[in-house]
Amino acid sequence: MSETSSARRSEPRVPRKRSLIELVADVPTLVQELFHREIELLKAEVLGKLKALGAGAGLLVGALVVVLFMVGVLLTSAVLALGQVMPGWLAALVVAAFLLIVAGILALIGYRVLKRGIPPIPTESIDSLQRDYRAIRGIGKRGTT
What are 85-130's pLDDT values in tens digits? 999 999 999 999 999 999 999 999 988 887 776 666 777 788 888 8
Measured distance between the N- and C-terminal CA atoms of the chain, rounded to whole angstroms: 55
Q: Which of 52, 36, 47, 42 is nearest to 126 (CA)?
A: 42
pLDDT recorded at residue 113: 82
Separation of alpha carbons 22 and 20, rounded Å: 5
DSSP code at position 17:
P
pLDDT recorded at residue 128: 84
**CA separation (Å) from 1 to 5, 15, 82?**
6, 24, 107
Does pTM surpass 0.75? no
Angle formed at CA 64 by CA 68 and CA 55, multiple of 5 degrees: 160
Q: Which three-class secondary structure state does DSSP give residue 33?
A: helix
Residue with the bigger pLDDT between 39 and 116: it is 39
Residue with the bigger pLDDT between 137 and 58: it is 58
Query: Residue 144 — very low, low, confident or very high, per pLDDT cuts 50/70/90?
Result: low
Separation of alpha carbons 81 and 65, rounded Å: 24
